[in-house]
Amino acid sequence: MSETVARQMSRSLGLRWVQIDMTIEDRIKAGIDGKLSNRKQDRYDAKGELYLPVRYAPVEDGIREEFWLDRIQEVADEGTVLVICGSLHCSPLAEKAEKRGHKILLKRFHPEELSELKPEFF
């Protein structure tokens, strides 16, 4: 197992670390791997310079976020849970959690400018 920032943070806070993301096999089984694997798409701005747009697939990313919440419910005891995810998932995941009756105590972005990202939906 690799030493990730999430593991380091969990350990420093005295929290149990749990892998909640889908495996490639899970994504294939759910029918979402193809679209999520092709998230990147080269674009050119007005000056002709190459950039990669920030892209979010509401259906496929939504399935993935629901999987995360299911996984958390499978393994979490009562109490507070810390979830570290990509900035595009923060708000949609929090909304899904609230719909399930969970209370969101805090949402943080690092760096803070990530909170202002406006993804392209595809």
Tens of pLDDT along 81-110? 899 999 999 999 999 999 999 999 999 999
Tens-digit pLDDT string for the chain (122 aa): 678 888 898 899 998 889 999 999 999 999 999 999 998 888 899 999 998 888 999 999 999 999 999 999 999 877 888 999 999 999 999 999 999 999 999 999 999 999 999 999 99
Q: Is residue 63 a contact partner of residue 34, using CB atoms and an 8 Å limit?
A: no
In this structure, what DSSP letter does residue 119 have? P
Spatial CA neighbour of 36 closest among 60, 13, 12, 19: 60
Return d(Cα 96, Cα 67) in angstroms, integer.
11
**pTM given for the model:** 0.88
